[in-house]
Structure 1
Amino acid sequence: MYLHLGQNEIVSDHRVIGIFDLDKCTYGKRTRDYLAAAEQEGVVLDVSGDIPKSFVVCDHPYHRQIVYLSQLNPSTLKNRAESTNLEL
């Protein structure tokens, strides 16, 4: 199944490593360092089209990981991921 991240961006739910709240997670130094390093590596994709509310870390065949910034709430993405898994 697939997970719609917003702005016509869809990823395979098997590639999703984690869904995180951008406001809550960026208080931590490790998260800020991780996002800064991902930005420097060029593996951050902003698919929000607006102010991002969450970020989704995914496995990627050509990079170690890829980070998507999404305008959707983490709870919305979590519910979408859970609803696609129920259909299996």
Structure 2
Amino acid sequence: MYLHAGNNKNLRTKNIIGIFDADTATVSPVTKKYIAGAHAEGRVEFASVELPKSFVVYRNEPSRQERVRFSFRQKKRKPAPKSEVRVCFSQLSPSSLAGRAENKI
């Protein structure tokens, strides 16, 4: 199942690690450092241009098509596409996102 995070951004519910309130979670220096590092690595995306109320940490797995494409290119010995942890900021409240996620599971 998928969770709609806003503006055509859909996340697989099984890949969601956590849903956080942007106002309270970003107070911690550890969270600030994590988000700054993810942003520097290009792993942060925004579901809307509006002021974010929440952010979702999720695992972005390669699609089936990418995995199949890799299996046909094994002669080149490139590493397999790996999943990465990404951060998506959303204009929706964390309680609304959590409610949507619970209804989908």
- Larger relative contact order (C-alpha < 8 A, sep ≥ 6)? 2
The structure that is helix-richer by fraction is 2
Q: Scaled by the length of structure 1, what TM-score is found?
A: 0.92
Aligned residues: 85
Give the match's secondary structure for 1:48: coil
Equivalent position of 2:10 in the other structure: 10
Give the match's secondary structure for 1:72: coil
Q: How does 1:1-88 map to 2 (within 5 A)?
A: 1-61=1-61, 62-85=82-105
Question: Could you give the per-residue CA deviations for residues 9-63 of structure 1, whole angstroms, max 9, x where no partner exists?
Answer: 1011011000000000111000000000000000000112200010000112245
RMSD (Å) for aligned C-alpha atoms: 1.0
Letter in 2 for 1:22: A
Structure 2 residue runs of 5 or longer lacking an equivalent are: 62-81
Identity %: 44
